[in-house]
Amino acid sequence: MSKSDGGKGSSPRPFSVSNEEYASRWDAIFAKDSCDHKVWTFHEEKADGKYLYECMKCGKVSETPTN
Ligand SMILES: [Zn+2]
């Protein structure tokens, strides 16, 4: 008979993208999406004398710093 066949083994596929990095980005998006807007800081005074506040957590700007 002929020579024995070469027995090619399938090499494991290397991961190029870190799953952890991907997950942390999703965490950031989710945190912003689920923000309860409880801590506000002064943002700016508008021309009409009203104040704008900015959520310390997600950066949302609002005249009415509530939920
Ligand atoms: Zn917020």
- Quote the ligand 1 centre to 50 CA distance (angstroms): 20
- Quote the ligand 1 centre to 31 CA distance (angstroms): 9
Residue 8 lies in a domain: no
Residue 45 lies in a domain: yes
Residue 67 lies in a domain: yes
User: 49: domain range?
Assistant: 33-67
What domain count does the chain have?
1
Q: In the structure, what pLDDT confidence band is assigned to residue 56 with cuts at 50, 70 and 90?
A: very high
pTM of the model: 0.50
- Quote the ligand 1 centre to 45 CA distance (angstroms): 19
* pLDDT value at 59 more than 70: yes
Residue 9 lies in a domain: no
Joined tokens for residue 19: 């799953």
CATH code where residue 41 lies: 2.20.70
Q: What is the pLDDT of residues 3-36, one digit of tens each?
A: 666 666 777 766 676 777 777 777 776 665 688 8
Residue 37 lies in a domain: yes
Q: How far is it, in rounded angstroms, from Cα 67 to Cα 31? A: 15
Residue 15 lies in a domain: no
Q: How far is it, in rounded angstroms, from Cα 62 to Cα 47? A: 15
Contact 44, 53 (CB under 8 A): no
